Amino acid sequence: MTYVPTVHHDVFICHAHNDDSPRGSGWVSTFKKDLETSLRARLGTVDVCMDDELAPDEKYRGKLHDDVKSSALFVPVMSPSLLLSEFCNEELSWFRRSPRPTSSNQHASLVFKVVLLPDLDANYRFWVKGVTDVSFYVRTGNVDRVLRPGASQYTDQIEYLAGRVAGRLQDLRTQFDPVFVAKFSNLSLTDEVKKLEADLFGDGHRLLPGVFIPDFDAARGRLRAWIEESKFCIFILGSEYQVEFEELLAFAQESKKRSVFWIGTKEYEERSSKQGLFINKLQNDGLELYVGNLASRFYDRLKSNPEGSGFPEKTDESRSMNRIRFYVISDSKGPKLEKASQLVEQITNENLAQSTPIRLKPLQPLSPSDSLPSERIRQHEELLSSCDAILVDWVQGDKDWLRNTWREVVDRKTDGRAKYKSAAIFTSEPNNKDRTDVLKNLGAVEDVIGKHNPNYVNPGSNTVSSSPTLGRLFDPDKLRRFLASLTDDPS
């Protein structure tokens, strides 16, 4: 485990193979173990990496490239052999080209040179600049001798170097704005998540908690403190619901922290019904949810902020890219948004229950607020012109209300004032000829995707419910056609 969050290695040791003979137990290998031991005594946990392959193939070469680029500090073992090594020169180039977690991108502040043999031709300083040169040789008469591991001078130099390196790692761990990242343990896009963490860290953010939390209950207080300390909160969701996420979200909302959610395409498609409800709740609360590729949808928005002070505010355009704005127009009494949410929740569950569900972005239920009539009319006009889908919830059976409402919906689409993709009707049981005739006269019989279920049993009381906002029956084929019209991928 690394001491600095999000990097793969705290320290990368660059060396020539000639300086580590016999391989695996030579001077450099022993130096690595001793430095790691001293750092661990100071920091508790640390990861030190070095190239240990004598003749690396292309696959190992790719791994080595990633190791170098994802290391916090670079420690070259300076010697004439290193200057002549093609591989060592390439490792230095990789390190220099990688984004580093410093405000001014000064690579020299992340390099600690270990001088194994003297610089007879004064070339070391041209190879790379560093924080300091720590010599591991001694001159006896006219002979330069490498310090022998275990000797007192060698141990003194190890301790001095470890102290300087530990101090720099501590600086890197605590610099700039902290970001709280909570993630599900089993993600299909693990590499994508690592890239996010590396990019955040590379731009100077400290990630919290930075370590695996095995016991949520025991760490609850510390997690709350980390959220309060953070500038943003990023929640990376899996397909299964986790109650801990709701609690962490509550902490973030109490602390008034910006909370952004991301779920991979695979996790979204395989989400459990309970996780689907949680996602709908996020949408209802107006929180930012990104589905699919993380880099293009999420982190690029952070990087595009020139001040580096947070994620840009949501716009209608960015909001619609990540969810389906689902406007429910209802003649029922009581809180409109609550009933719209219930209806959207059941539609979502009906779709998920199918053998081949329609692949949809999350549905965001919309409804005018329970305010003054003039304000409700204004909100209705706005929602009608900007939503992606409309469902007319005809519950009370007022024929004139349905006639006027449906004509308005259709006319708005015809004259271009509304841009919704599809509209449908949910109705209470049409138990008389007049109500059936209204639907026929409007040419809307095929647009009725569901009706009230008079035999619905309320799970809470085990009694038959007469409430038209609870039990609903949907026509599977009509519902599928309606939902398929809301996506570019109806499979």
Asked whether residue 160 carries a pLDDT value surpassing 90, the answer given is yes
Give the C-alpha separation, 72 to 376, whole Å. Answer: 56
**pLDDT band at 373; cut points 50, 70, 90:** confident
- List pLDDT tens digits, range 409-465: 999 988 888 889 999 988 866 556 777 888 888 998 889 888 766 554 443 334 433
Can you give the pLDDT at residue 249?
Answer: 86
pLDDT of res. 469: 40
pLDDT at 238: 85
Q: Say how far apart CA 6 and CA 104 lie, in whole Å.
A: 19
Closest among 86, 79, 75 to 31, alpha carbons compared = 75
Mean pLDDT, range 56-78, rounded to an integer: 83
Cβ atoms 205, 176 nearer than 8 A: yes
Of 445, 447, 452, which is closest to residue 481 (Cα–Cα)? 447
pLDDT of residue 418: 87
For 176-322, which CATH superfamily applies? Answer: Toll/interleukin-1 receptor homology (TIR) domain (3.40.50.10140)
| pTM given for the model | 0.42
Taking domain 9-174, whether its CATH number is 3.40.50.10140 is answered by yes
Q: What is the pLDDT of residue 467?
A: 39
The CATH number corresponding to 325-491 among 3.40.50, 3.30.70, 1.10.357, 1.10.10 equals 3.40.50
- Same fold for the pair 9-174 and 176-322: yes
Extents of the domains making up the chain:
9-174, 176-322, 325-491
CA 121 to chain centre: 51
